[in-house]
Structure 1
Amino acid sequence: MEVPGVKAVVFDLDGTLVDSAPDLHAAALAMLAADSLPPITFAQTRSFIGNGVPTLVARIMAAVGLPEDPDRHADMVTAFLRSYNAAPDNLTTLYPGALRTLQQLEALGCPMALCTNKPEAPARAILDSFDLSRFLPVVIGGDTLAVKKPDPAPLRAALDGLGVESCLYVGDSEVDAATAQASGQPFALYSEGYRKSPVEQIPHQHLFDHFDALPGIVETALRLPAA
């Protein structure tokens, strides 16, 4: 699917632009240790990423055998965010080629935004830490609106912030694919992120495994002139 008139690129964050799983795992371990609960593995944490912090914490609680308890869940979300926002280890890294790709897209005159289920404040902090905010002036986080992806509202809000009606949405997961579908936008799947399903089971119009390939995809999908 190509959408005529598409004039922007909107990115997911975790598993797309950055590998934040190590910092998320460290925060999960700190949260569990503070409550004298057993640890979970890195692989478990990585598999729980994708639907926002409250869902991540709920999955962690289930993994360590805690029953559903809204009050305890709220307390653990607060504890998780406290540890995560402190980020003492700064283990999050950019995926190879991501910065160069943003620079190339900027040179093409392509407006860009971020649409993530991570809370907005830590999402902005990550962008600032890698000096990416200059490329992504519009940030829609998991708590910016009353709903999260895969509801189409966050992606539409990102488009509104850019002043455009359509985009190429770039993400790594089933949630991102569903968001693009719900919004009627073409989707570029980064295959090296946090997806839980085989690539062929995730609806997408474009596929890449390294950011060096993305500018070419953008030039095609958005019908922008070559650099």
Structure 2
Amino acid sequence: MDRIETITATDCALGFVSVYDAILFDNDGVLVDPPGIETKTAATKAAFAAVGVTEPDPADVDAILSGPTEAELEACCARYGLDPESFWRARERHDEDSQLEAFRAGERSVYDDIGALRDVRRPRGVVSNNHHSTIEFVLSHFELEPLFDCYYGRPMTIESLSRKKPNPHYVERAVADLGVTSALYVGDSESDVVAADRAGLDSAFVRRSHNRRAALSVEPDYEIESLRAVPAIVSGS
């Protein structure tokens, strides 16, 4: 590990940080406001209702919210006699619809420090556990396409659950897509830090209001308070 602190341009000028060929970003909680728990809960309950379960056990709602494994999803569906594929299609559809509605209504937006990415003179990409189509919407809705050279979310399939971070699958695909050998991954969760490490990348953990007091069991290479610290880290200038 290098060191954990807020990085400044002065630090870079003194040669304390590394230079990276590219930079990758998580989406929710890094580029845009994360989805609210109330919205996610309502979408999950709506998915259960869509397949005929009007009063799901709160524990099962929580399990779906927290991101189940394939085995956990199948076990949950078995308790209600549901077809996992049918339920998961309903869950993904309602989850995405709730997110797009929140963006369109102005309930979720981009962070005000996102403009700092324009000063990152390196290839840039997005790697998220959110749906690929949701990331596509976000980039289009907020006119962010020019900022990024590639983006990866997961398809709306049960199989995609095993490839969510901390699995480095999509992080590694983004690095290959950009054709670079070194990159920095900026995230807001422990799974982001772990995914970066498993992919052989350095990580920057950004602290915002939703994760201000989060305690990590792994150490990122950098902790930052804003995306405004990123250009100096990446370029070393």
TM-score bracket, normalised by the shorter chain, equals 0.7 to 0.9
- Report how far residue 39 of structure 1 moved: 7.0
Q: Are 2:141 and 1:124 aligned?
A: no
Provide the rounded CA distance (Å) in 2 between the counterparts of 1:129 and 1:4.
33
Provide the rounded CA distance (Å) in 1 between the counterparts of 2:218 and 2:64.
16
* Aligned partners of 2:20 and 2:184 also within 8 Å: yes
State which of 139, 164, 170 in structure 1 corresponds to 2:151.
139
Provide the rounded CA distance (Å) in 1 between the counterparts of 2:145 and 2:81.
35
Q: Are 2:32 and 1:18 aligned?
A: yes
SS at match of 1:188: strand
Within a 5 Å distance, the mapping from 1:185-196 to structure 2 comes to 185-192=201-208
Q: TM-score w.r.t. structure 1 length?
A: 0.72
Deviation string for 1:85-119 (max 9, x for gaps)?
334632562353243222xxx23422210111222
Within a 5 Å distance, the mapping from 1:203-214 to structure 2 comes to 203-209=219-225, 211=226, 214=227
Q: 1:218 to 1:15 in 2, by over 3 A?
A: same
Task: Name the count of aligned residue pairs.
Answer: 208
Within a 5 Å distance, the mapping from 1:25-36 to structure 2 comes to 25-34=41-50, 35-36=52-53
Match of 1:148 in 2: 164
Q: 1:68 to 1:208 in 2, by over 3 A?
A: farther
Q: TM-score w.r.t. structure 2 length?
A: 0.70
SS at match of 2:154: coil
Q: Are 2:89 and 1:78 aligned?
A: yes
Q: 1:192 to 1:31 in 2, by over 3 A?
A: same
Q: Percent identical across equivalent pairs?
A: 23
Match of 1:7 in 2: 21
Q: 1:48 to 1:101 in 2, by over 3 A?
A: farther
Q: Are 2:189 and 1:173 aligned?
A: yes
Structure 1 unmatched runs, 5+: none
* Aligned partners of 2:26 and 2:192 also within 8 Å: yes
- Report how far residue 17 of structure 1 moved: 1.7
* Aligned partners of 1:174 and 1:197 also within 8 Å: no
Q: 1:36 to 1:71 in 2, by over 3 A?
A: closer
Match of 2:112 in 1: 97
* Aligned partners of 1:47 and 1:194 also within 8 Å: no
Provide the rounded CA distance (Å) in 2 between the counterparts of 1:134 and 1:121.
17
With a CA cutoff of 8 Å and minimum separation of 6, indicate the structure with the bigger relative contact order: 2
Match of 1:37 in 2: 54
Q: 1:29 to 1:115 in 2, by over 3 A?
A: same
Deviation string for 1:110-158 (max 9, x for gaps)?
2210111222122211221121222123012223988332222311211
Provide the rounded CA distance (Å) in 1 between the counterparts of 2:64 and 2:84.
19
Structure 2 unmatched runs, 5+: 3-16
Report the RMSD for the aligned CA atoms in angstroms. Answer: 3.7
